[in-house]
Amino acid sequence: MNNKLIAIILVSIICFASCKTKDDEVGANKAPMVHLPQTISVDLTLKQGKQYFISKIKEGISDDYTNIDDCKIQLTPSLDDIDFTKVGETEIKGTVSDDGTNSLGKKDKVKSANFSIILSIINTNINEAPQISLPTNIVFYINENPTINNIKAIINTEKVKDDFTKSENCVITTEPKLEDINLTQVANINLTVTVTDDGTNSVGEINVKKSSTVTTTVNIIEQTTSLIEEGEVLIEYIDMEQWRYFSFEANDTVGSTSADKTRQGLDWDIAFHYYDIRLNGGLSGNGEGAALLVEGADSIDGWNSVVKAPDSGYQTDKKGMILTSAMPMKKINVSRSHVITGNMDIFGGELGTWVNSKDMPPAYTTTDQIFIIKTAKGNYCKIWLTFFNSSSLKMKYLIQKNKYLNDFQ
């Protein structure tokens, strides 16, 4: 090998070494690497805030040669513009820049990386109000000598459920106070029951106490007290265009609705639309209304023979066709008592249960059937529909006003 070739090789080696060192010094500083989740949550309950959020961002950033604490992080919007006391989400755009340190420890060109993240401010300090399960009616019989302890056996913390407070640590208050209830006199008492927890939240801290309220009725009765009321009423102005509503408690009509509507509330028990009958229960109302046909009982002898209401067998209202116009004939499908009304149609069809018709114009005759119904409030009542002439009807009734008894004597 001649001297000229050796010289060329040596120059090439020197140039290569020189270029490699220069590239190492200039190009070794790479941009920071960002590995962040889509969302960082800040929990107010755990007293996490701005500094916690910054620390979680730093955990997701790395750089080859710059210490992460020496990196510069810029956020938009600025954390100073974010209220860290309010629950909510904010999208944040960020840039992280190193200080330019390269592989040789020298300061070089600063490198940056962009990122986007959702800041979610949450509050796991959830303390839901406790709930207490009570019957809607609590019955005590005077002859059984009830005491306040009998009420407390029903209204107590064992009936309470709460997410984080033990049931025995909840407090129950009533209005009126249980100690003020006289269990030796017949009465119906509306009792308001409030249950309050101790404020324990989801992380075991004591925070704001929560309460809930339910109402129940304390019925103090004499088991043998029978409260019978008998009457006979004439219901007038009934037609195909409306329902007229009657209350046994008021012994009078209490309003009307169009044929296609029904009436809510417990202020009515039975309603009349032409020869159709409706009760406050089932599809017709939010009461306990239902009906039962007493088989084999009719007229005055049947009326007198019915001395006690059966415990079961009652049927609530369901859908059925009623007439809203005779000429031209129009029908609609609404709720009514099929037990009492039957399927009567003045233009033919099956006969009704309480009234029949024949001929044209129709002539009506009652069947003198005896029915037992439950009123809106659950009292037993026997009825006898004695007359109908297309615009009025007569109804004889006997109601047991003690809803816990089913006798008619």
Query: Is there a single domain that holds both residue 115 and residue 135?
Result: no
Strands 290-298 and 369-374 come out as: antiparallel
| Helical (H) or strand (E) element with 20 | helix 3-27
Q: Which residue has the higher pLDDT, 345 or 190?
A: 190
114 and 139 part of one domain? no
Residues 316 and 365 occupy one common structural domain:
yes
Q: How far apart are CA 117 and CA 94, in angstroms?
A: 8
Please tell me the predicted confidence (pLDDT) of residue 7: 52
**Residue keyed to tokens 């709720």:** 335
* Enclosing H/E stretch for 27: helix 3-27
Question: What does the pLDDT read at residue 240?
Answer: 92
The end-to-end CA distance of the chain, in Å, is 139
When the pLDDT of each residue in the chain is averaged and rounded to a whole number, the result is 86
User: Region 193-221: what's the mean pLDDT?
Assistant: 87
* Per-residue model confidence (pLDDT) at position 4: 58
Question: Does residue 318 register a pLDDT over 50?
Answer: yes
pLDDT value of residue 370: 94
Predicted TM-score (pTM) of the model is: 0.49
What is the pLDDT at residue 22?
Answer: 42
Note the pLDDT of residue 260.
Answer: 95
Q: Which residue has the higher pLDDT, 67 or 374?
A: 374
> Under a CB-based contact definition with an 8 Å cutoff, are residues 259 and 322 in contact?
yes
Long-range contacts from 319-328, C-beta under 8 angstroms, 24+ separation: 319/283, 320/276, 321/345, 322/240, 322/259, 322/273, 322/274, 322/276, 323/240, 323/274, 324/240, 324/241, 324/259, 324/260, 325/240, 326/240
Listed residues 199, 221, 243: the one ending a domain: 221
On the question of pLDDT at 113 being above 80, the answer is yes
Give me the pLDDT at residue 180, please: 94
> Which CATH number characterizes residue 98's domain?
2.60.40
Structure tokens at 209: 């106490």
Within this chain, do residues 294 and 369 fall inside the same structural domain, yes or no?
Answer: yes
Q: Which pLDDT band holds residue 81 (cuts at 50, 70, 90)?
A: very high
For the segment 18-40, the average pLDDT, to the nearest whole number, is 70
Mean pLDDT on 93-104:
89
Say yes or no to pLDDT of 87 above 90: no
Residue 19 lies in a domain: no
**End position of a domain, from candidates 122, 145, 163:** 122
What is the model's pLDDT at position 394? 94
Query: What is the extent of the structural domain holding 367?
Result: 228-400
- If one counts every other C-beta atom within 10 angstroms of the C-beta of residue 8, the result is 10
Amino acid 19: pLDDT: 46
Domain presence at residue 315: yes
Answer yes or no: do 192 and 312 share one domain: no
- Could you tell me if residue 206 is inside a domain? yes
* % of the chain exceeding 90 in pLDDT: 54
**Is 4 contained in some domain?**
no
Q: Do both 378 and 235 map to the same domain?
A: yes
The yes-or-no verdict on residue 14 having pLDDT over 70 is no
Q: Quote the CA–CA distance of 193 and 174 in Å, as a whole number.
A: 5
Residues 217, 190: Cα–Cα separation, whole Å: 5
Report the distance separating Cα 208 and Cα 399, nearest Å. Answer: 51
Give the tens place of pLDDT for each residue, 236-260. 989 999 999 999 999 999 999 999 9
Q: Which residue has the tokens 């309003």?
A: 255
Span 29-36, average pLDDT = 90
Residue 345, pLDDT > 70, answer no
How many domains is the chain built from?
A: 3
Are residues 261 and 388 located together in one domain of the fold?
yes
Higher pLDDT, 178 or 22: 178
Q: Is 2 left (phi over 0), alpha (psi -120 to 50) or beta?
A: beta
Q: Which amino acid is at 326?
A: A
| pLDDT of 277 above 50 | yes
For residue 342, give both structure tokens.
Answer: 């039957």
Q: Residues, the chain, total?
A: 409
Q: Which of 221, 239, 270 is the last residue of a domain?
A: 221
> How are beta strands 137-141 and 211-221 bridged, if at all?
parallel
Q: What is the pLDDT of residue 20?
A: 45
pLDDT of residue 352: 57
Amino acid at 273: H
Whether 35 maps to a domain, the answer reads: yes
Banded pLDDT at 106 (limits 50, 70, 90): confident
pLDDT exceeds cutoff 70 at 296:
yes
Give tens-digit pLDDT for 156-188: 988 899 888 899 999 999 999 999 999 998 899
Least-confidence region, from 2-11, 12-21, 27-36, 83-92: 12-21
Of 362, 340, 363, nearest to 353 by C-alpha is: 340
State yes or no: pLDDT of 11 exceeds 80. Answer: no
Is residue 27 over pLDDT 60? Answer: no
**Alpha-carbon separation of residue 113 from 16, 28, 41, 93, 148 (angstroms):** 32, 16, 22, 11, 74
Higher per-residue confidence, 284 vs 401: 284
Using the predicted structure, report yes or no on whether residue 235 has a pLDDT greater than 60: yes
Q: Which of 194-208, 225-239, 276-290, 316-330 has the lowest average pLDDT? A: 194-208
CB 281 within 8 A of CB 287: yes
| DSSP symbols for 71-85 | SEEEEES-GGGS-TT
